[in-house]
Each structure stands twice: as C-alpha cells, then as structure tokens.
Amino acid sequence: MYLADETWPDLGAYFEDESLAIVPLGSTEQHGPHLPEGTDHIIAEGFATAAAERTGYLRTPTINIGVSPHHRQFHGTMWVEPPVFRDYVESFTRNLAYHGIDRVIFVNAHGGNVQHLREVGRRLRDDNVIYAIEWMWNDSIPELVEELFAQPGPHGGPKETSMIQHLQPELVHDDQLEAARDGGMTSFDPQSVQKHGSRTFYDAIDNTANGVLGDQTDASAAKGEQLFEAASDQLVDLCEWLAAQPFEALMPKDHV
C-alpha cells in the first residue's frame, strides 16, 4: 500500500489494523558518468515498493535528498546538512506516530544517511514514541555481493550499476562503463586510503577523479535481479519480524 495513492478513510482503516510503515530514503548525488544522480533513491524506492506489495504494509513517499556533501564537487549533487536531515526525518517519523504507527523501517540506499538515521531512531525510541530502524540492502546479503563481484564498489560500482540495470535500464549509460572504471578507483580497501590509521580524506573526489569506485564493467541486469530478489526477501522477513514484536519489548529497558 502506497500512502499517497490512498484516500484518508482507507488509510484510517489501515491504521486501525496495522502499526508498521516502510520509509524509503536515498540521495540525489553523482554516481559517475554512467549512472543517474537518483541511483540511491531509485534503489530504495524499488525495495520499499516490493516489500509493501508483498506484505501489504504501508509505504510512504520517498525522501530523496540526503547527507551528500562529500559528493558536492560533482555537477548536480544535492544535499542537506546533517542536523537538518536528522530533524526532518525525525519530524516526518513523528508524523507517522501521530496517525498510529509505532514501528518504522527506514529502507535506506545511501551510506551517508546511516549514522544519522541511527541517531533519529535512538531519539524516537528514547522518547518511547516509535521504534525506527535502518535497513541497507547490500548489508542484508553481503555473501551474495562478494560472490558476484570481485570489486563491488562501494559507490557507483557494479553492484549499484547492476541494480539500476535491473530496475531502470534506460537510465544507465552502458557506453560509459569502461570510462567509469578507468577514470575512477577500481580497487577499494578502506585501509589503503588511511594514513597511520587515520581516515584523512573527506570527499569522494579525494580518492576518485570521476566519483566512483569498483569495476563497473562487471555489472549486469541479471546480477541486479539476483541481488534485488535476495535482498527483497530479507526486507520482507524483517517487516514480518518487526510487526510481530510487542511494542514494549522494542522500547528501552529499565535502569538496573
């Protein structure tokens, strides 16, 4: 069920029976010369839509601009400052609580949002308002990602390329896959970009001239479909698990 497509009486019937909502979040930022700037929110919305259709749970509109200042040097990247993002998402989620939702899954496809969504979830839980958790698709199927790709990314790499080739292939510039690989950073190891144990870079461009990492030529729509189906199963299972939990069990424990 998609919230924006429903009438308010129909939504009232949902809120009487259910207490879970699925909130897709992503970003609008550069993803190299081959992928659209909407890559992250397209992926998040794809997963949220699939989970809502399979489970019947409510999906909200997508939050499609996130915390992306580390991509700001590239044309068209949009972002909001972290405190603004946190306050907006918290207000958005409290809005759901007002209507009777008491648990939310943030279906997130942008790494820059993760720590901020965790903080929002803690704020809401500490206030005993709502239980909100962040879900990231590739974190739900790490073994499959490693099996399919020698160099998956993490940004604009073959896993995201494969996903967009599956979800919206018309948006992928397939003729730019080699250029994306050759102009970016093919092999990424977090330790390789540290100095004496310190993460000394702040922006993507500090490590990759065209903004992407990984071997984009290793992508395919078939791999994207495989990833999408496997991660969708994980999200559906998470929805069902969360819906089955007593609300009291999700709230903070008492002081010892």
Counted domains in the chain: 1
Edge-first strand order for the sheet with 20-25 is 58-59, 20-25, 103-108, 131-136
| CATH number for the domain harbouring residue 166 | 3.40.50.10310
Structural tokens at position 172? 């992928």
Per residue in 198-216, pLDDT tens? 988 899 999 999 999 999 9
pTM: 0.95
Reduced to 3 states (helix: H, G, I; strand: E, B; else coil), residue 174 is helix
Is residue 28 domain-resident? yes
Q: Is residue 197 in a domain? A: yes
Residue 256 falls within a domain, yes or no?
A: no
Direct distance between the N- and C-terminal alpha carbons of the chain, in angstroms, rounded to an integer: 41
Phi, psi of 105 (to 5 degrees): -110, 115
Q: Which domain holds residue 193?
A: 3-250
> Quick one: which H or E segment has residue 134?
strand 131-136
125-139 pLDDT, tens per residue? 999 999 999 999 999
Closest CA relative to residue 165, chosen from 222, 92, 238, 119 = 222
Picking from 38-47, 51-60, 138-147, 187-196, which range would have the lowest pLDDT averaged per residue? Answer: 187-196
Would you say residue 50 lies in a domain? yes
Residue 115 lies in a domain: yes
- Separation between Cα atoms, residue 24 and residue 21, nearest integer Å: 10
Judge whether 255 lies within some domain.
Answer: no
In the chain, the percentage of residues whose pLDDT exceeds 70 is: 100
